[in-house]
Structure formats: C-alpha cells, structure tokens
Amino acid sequence: MAASLQPACLDLHFAGKKHPPPLKHTNNPPTFLRCVSSPNLPEPDSSPDTSSLSKDQRKVVRIAWEKIVRWSRSLRAKAKTDVLERTRKVVVLGGGSFGTAMAAHVAGRKEGLEVNMLVRDSFVCESINKNHHNCKYFPEHKLPENVIATTDAKAALLDADYCLHAVPVQFSSLFLEGISDYVDPGLPFISLSKGLELNTLRMMSQIIPTALKNPRQPFVALSGPSFALELMNNLPTAMVVASKDKKLANSVQQLLASSYLRINTSSDVTGVEIAGALKNVLAIAAGIVDGMQLGNNSMAALVSQGCSEIRWLATKMGAKPTTITGLSGTGDIMLTCFVNLSRNRTVGVRLGSGETLDDILSSMNQVAEGVATAGAVIALAQKYNVKLPVLTAVAKIIDNELTPTKAVLELMSLPQVEEV
C-alpha cells in the first residue's frame, strides 16, 4: 500500500531496479519528490533575467568582436589586387541565368574590363548589346555596358585572361570540342556547371581537359549557395573556388571577391564538384516531399539522410568530409532543398504533386541538372560500393520505375540501423 502512494516520478526514476536506495532524512525533501508531492511549496523568487548581458559578459563579447575586426582588417590590408588590375578580358561561355549573373558581377569589378558572353541565341545577343538586358532571363536587370555578347567563339575567346564555363554539364563535351581550336592551352577555366555526365559519370574537371584535348588546361570549380537572381541584386553571397593549383585558386579569388561576394578557396576539387552535383538530386527529393505534403518532420529526416549519403560517396571518392559540411556541401544543399527558386526542387514538387516528368521538363526554359545527374547515381553507388537509398529512389522515380508514394513506403520500411 505504501508503494502505491509514492510519487509517479519516483516510480519512473527507479524503473527496472529491484529496490530503490534508501532516502536520507533531511528537512527538505529531494527535488524529485518536491516536484510532485509538495505542490504548495513556494516557487523560486524569480527567473534569471536573460534579456541582457551582464557587464562582464558585454566586455567579453566586445573584446571578441574587436579581435575579429582587427584580424579582418589585417588580412584585408595584405590582400593582393594585382590579378584584377592586370586582367583585361574575361569570357563567359553560356548565356543562361547564372552565366549572366557572373558576367555582370565580373564586369562590375573593374571599369574598362571587357566581359564577353558567348551565346547561341542571336536574339539574346542583340538584346544584351543594344539594350544591356538579357531578355530571356533578366529582362528587368540592366547589365554593365562592358558586358558584350557574341555568337562568334573565336572572337569571344581571343586574348581572354579567364574563362567562366556556364554551359550545362550534359552539353559541355560537344560544345567544348566545337570551340577547342580557339582555346589557348593556358587559359584558366572556371567551371560554374554542376552535375555528372550521364553516360561517363565524369565531372567538369574531367570533361573540360578531355574535350579540349589538353590534360593541363588550368581548372577551377566555383560552387556554393548562390541563386543567380540574388547575385544580380548584389545580395551578400559566399562561394568557394577549388583547384589543385593553390596559386590559381588565389588568383580567381582575387578576381571574383567583392564587398557582397565572399570567395573561399579549397584544394578539394572532388569534394566541391560531387557535392555540387548530388545536391541537385537531393533537391528533387526534397521537392517531392513538399509536393506530397508530407510535412516538416519528413523533410528534415530526408535532407539529413541525403547529406549523409553525399558524404559517404564523396569520401569514398577521395573528398574531405569538411568540404561536405562547407559552402559547397551543406550550404548549397540547404539553399537548393528549402528555397522555391531552385529549379531542381521545383521539379520535385511537381513530381510529388502528380505531374509527369515529360510535362514538367517541356514547360521549363532552364536545365534542372539533377534530372540527368540522378541517372548517374546508381552507377556511382555500385562503383564505390555505397548504399544511397534516397538518391537512388530519386533516380528510379525519374526513370518512371517507382512512384513517389511507393518510394516513401520503401524508404520508411528500411531496417532500423545505427546512425553513422
């Protein structure tokens, strides 16, 4: 009978034990008893005031911030600007939204810098040169007057100091082979394209030198959370440039970094590229969850699982785990999976809402790289012996071998395993 009068929290506290330890006799009952058996005891005087910092805490914060500011000023004072000063011409291959945004950004870095955009649409070319607008992608944004468009590859590439490659991955090989005769073997290529070539599983760091027949073509991968529209609006953005040539990465950093665009450097080309490619596939999965209205719990679970899958594969391919948690990994994943401006996420939303892939793609005027990249996921998973449930499910949905509803059921039925 006495046992039945014990507070509920006491039973929970000693659940599974044969005999609870004896209680010590004190004037004040233990805390876990007071919370239940002494409801009339007075509450503590008041909760601590957390609305403002104490004098000592404010001092600590002020000193910490001053150290950051001094460190920042010191590095800025040492920063070199000779790359931008001696750069005379930059060529941008491709007239899409991101290529246009980067062309406008580079052109705004220096008055008198010639920025040539190589485009295939003569109407877009005329619009840029006459009205300083890309009528197809940014009709309401005026481009700097030193942005010049052309359909002539030879003229665009002549005497260029840097080349920004913004052609979709699946079309890059054929395109580059067609202009290879005009490319200087020492011209640095800065790749803005994210994805894997469907049939070969190659990344841009492999596609570009192969297509140009020059294994020593200087290469840099540019990646990170960056919507073209926000770049056009000069909103604060941070990205990373990756190259095996540290000096080249630093040069590109000098060329691109500005008051509203931070550029970090990395030597992990594989990590930056594979994260940039697979995040597009994961964004389709995130869109499917949203289109099916499965809720926020599902979204968080799916994206965290997808992040793990990207890390598993990337590290098997030689990438650094820290790259996957950086700008080109977690940063880009968050942007692409959670924001409606993402083309890949939009494809997923519409798939989850019941539309067919053919109808979705035929209504889009831009390429969603994740659609093609998803087809390479299964082959990569097999090649590196890695299980990628979420990314593989996306590939099967795109191939019309699995419905979104069935995919959810299968994923939820996977064995309950230890998190790794």
CA angle 206, 209, 210 (to 5 degrees): 75
Task: State the amino acid at position 348 in one-letter form.
Answer: G
Closest among 344, 373, 375 to 361, alpha carbons compared: 344
Instruction: Give strand pairing partners of 239.
Output: 263
- How many CA atoms are closer than 13 Å to the CA of 196, on its beta-carbon side? 24
Closest among 106, 204, 122 to 160, alpha carbons compared: 106
**Distances 36 to 14, 29, 246 between C-alpha atoms, Å:** 15, 11, 64
Residue 346: which residues within 8 A CB-CB, separation 6 or more? 287, 340, 368
CB atoms within 10 A of CB 389: 15
- How many CA atoms are closer than 13 Å to the CA of 115, on its beta-carbon side? 28
CB atoms within 10 A of CB 287: 28
17, 80, 244, 279: the catalytic one is 279
Closest among 168, 212, 222 to 343, alpha carbons compared: 168
CA 326, chain centre distance (Å): 9
Task: State the amino acid at position 33 in one-letter form.
Answer: L
Say if residues 268 and 243 touch (Cβ distance below 8 Å): no
Say whether 247 is catalytic: no
CB atoms within 10 A of CB 235: 12
**CA dihedral over 162, 99, 131, 362, signed as positive or negative:** positive
Q: Looking at residue 238, what DSSP letter applies?
A: E
Burial class (CB in 10 A: 0-12, 13-18, 19+), 252: buried
- Strand 162-165 versus strand 147-150 pairing type: unpaired
Q: What's the CA gap between 254 and 242, in Å, rounded? A: 13
Q: What's the CA gap between 357 and 7, in Å, rounded? A: 60
Closest among 191, 203, 290 to 248, alpha carbons compared: 191
Q: What's the CA gap between 324 and 155, in Å, rounded? A: 39
The residues annotated as belonging to the active site are 279
